Amino acid sequence: MTRTLINTVSGFPVKDKIEALEMLGVGLLAKELSRDWDITAVVGFWHEALALRRTHNLAVPNIVPREFPLEYFLEARLPGDLTEFEANPSAVTAQALQICDRVLGDKHSRLPSLLGTIGERFAQIGEFCRSLNIWLYVLEIQLKSLSSSPDGVDDVLNTFRCFADAFGFVLSRSGSVLHFKTVYQVIKSALHGLKACPALYESRDKMMVYVLHYLSALLEVASDERDVEVVMETAKAVAWAGLRSTTGSTLLHLASNSRTEEISSLKEHLHFPSLRVCELLMDSGVDQSAVDGDGNTALHILLTKGHAERDVLSCLLNAGAHMDARNSSGKTILDLARCEKVRRVIQAADHVPGLQCLAARKIMAEKLHFEGIVPKRLESFIQMH
| pLDDT grade for 270, boundaries at 50, 70 and 90 | low
Does the pTM surpass 0.85? The reply is no
Cβ(221)–Cβ(180) under 8 Å?
Answer: yes
Distance CA 147, CA 200 (A): 9
pLDDT of 304 higher than 50: yes
Q: Crossing angle for the helix pair 153-173 and 180-196, nearest 10 degrees?
A: 160
Per-residue pLDDT of 29-71, as tens digits, reads 766 554 566 788 888 888 888 888 888 888 877 766 555 555 5
Based on the number of CB atoms within 10 Å of its own CB, is 330 exposed (0-12), middle (13-18) or buried (19 or more)?
Answer: exposed
* Mean local confidence (pLDDT), 164-192: 85
Does pLDDT of 365 surpass 70? no
Separation CA 22–CA 231 (nearest Å): 43
70-96 pLDDT, tens per residue? 555 677 888 888 888 777 777 787 788
Cα 323 to Cα 334: distance, rounded to the nearest angstrom: 8
| Alpha carbon distance 124, 122 (integer Å) | 5
Between 309 and 306, residue with greater pLDDT: 309
Contact 145, 161 (CB under 8 A): no
pLDDT score of 65:
58
Contacts with 12 (C-beta within 8 Å, 6 or more apart), sequence order: 6
Which pLDDT value is given to residue 11? 61
pLDDT band with cut points at 50, 70 and 90 for residue 321: confident
Asked if 166 and 217 count as a contact pair (C-beta separation under 8 A), the reply is no
Q: Is 350 exposed, middle or buried (0-12, 13-18, 19+ CB in 10 A)?
A: exposed
Q: What is the DSSP string of 132-170?
A: HHHHHHHHHHHHHHHTT-GGGHHHHHHHHHHHHHHHHHH
pLDDT at 89: 77
| Confidence tier at 147 by pLDDT (50, 70, 90) | confident
Residue 187: the pLDDT is 95
- Average pLDDT, rounded, for the chain: 80
| Segment 122-151 mean pLDDT | 82
Residues in CB range of 240: below 8 A, 6 or more apart: 285
**pLDDT top residue among 364 and 324:** 324
Residue 9's pLDDT is what? Answer: 55
pLDDT at 201: 93
Residues 6+ apart with CB under 8 A from 301: 249, 253, 256, 257, 292
Is 232 a residue whose pLDDT tops 90? yes
Collapse the DSSP code of 223 into the 3-class scheme (helix H, G, I; strand E, B; otherwise coil) and give the result: coil
DSSP string, 332-348: -HHHH--SHHHHHHHHH
CA distances (Å), 277 to each of 87, 220, 255, 270, in order? 44, 11, 7, 10
Average the pLDDT over 320-334 and give the result. Answer: 80
Contact between 86 and 43 (Cβ < 8 Å): yes
172 membership: H or E segment, kind and range:
helix 153-173
Instruction: Please compute Rg for the chain using Cα positions.
Output: 27
pLDDT for 107: 65
Q: Is the peptide bond before 89 cis (omega within 30 degrees of 0)?
A: no
Comparing 94-108, 232-246, 308-322, which segment has the lowest mean pLDDT? 94-108
According to DSSP, residue 24 is labeled H
Which is more confidently placed, 213 or 6? 213
Model confidence pLDDT, tens digit, residues 17-26: 888 888 888 8
Contact, 156 vs 202, CB < 8 A?
no
* pLDDT confidence bin for 334, thresholds 50/70/90: confident
- pLDDT of 266 > 50? The answer is no
